[in-house]
Amino acid sequence: MHTYSPPPQRTALCPASQSSALGVAPRRRAHPHPHRGLLLSLTLPGDPRSASVGRHAVTAALPTYGFRSHAWPVTHVVTELIAVNAALTPGRDLYLSLRRCDGDLRLVLWDQHPRHADPDTLALCEVRRRRALWLLAAVVDDWGGAWGLAVAEPPHTGVRSWVVLPQ
């Protein structure tokens, strides 16, 4: 009587991984860019519902990199940045970046808000944007951080909103 024996299990498609599973150590190369900690980037649709996606993404990433204590301010900041910028540029993509830089947490949100040709409209739009971010300003101030806005340089359009929270 012939008994069935299953084929050996292969858990990876990469031959180097298969070699290590068989007891052969793969040759490792030094990575040219060593891991420096937290780095998260997302592209989100310009929709207020994207605030929830951004909030959940950063909430999941922070404890992994030792920033559990920053969960409250970062989730508030991300939620406010995405919600306000989505309202200013509905239907256009938003780019969110969260990274550790010199021990601080740095958040950047870039939107695609078109530059206004009229100086009065440009000034009014910036005042309204800053006013809409009042909760963000309060949270950042309470945590001893800084925030600001910068208009993209031509040929790019949009506004870069940034926040720095100390560790």
DSSP β-ladder status, 94-101 and 39-44: antiparallel
Give the model confidence (pLDDT) of 38-79 as tens digits: 788 999 999 989 999 999 999 988 888 888 888 999 999 999
pLDDT of 115 over the 60 cut: yes
User: What is the pLDDT at residue 52?
Assistant: 94
- Please give the domain boundaries of the chain with CATH numbers for all domains: 37-165 (3.30.565.10)
Q: Which secondary-structure segment (H or E) carries 149?
A: strand 146-151
Q: CA 45 to CA 47: how far, in whole Å?
A: 5
- Report how far apart, in Å, the C-alpha atoms of 100 and of each of 10, 68, 105, 116, 147 are: 37, 13, 5, 33, 15
pTM, 2 dp: 0.74
Query: What type of residue sits at position 111?
Result: D
Q: What angle do CA 92, 97, 102 make, to 5 degrees?
A: 155
User: What is the pLDDT at residue 65?
Assistant: 80
Distance of CA 3 to the CA centre of its chain: 54
- Provide mean pLDDT across the span 77-103: 92
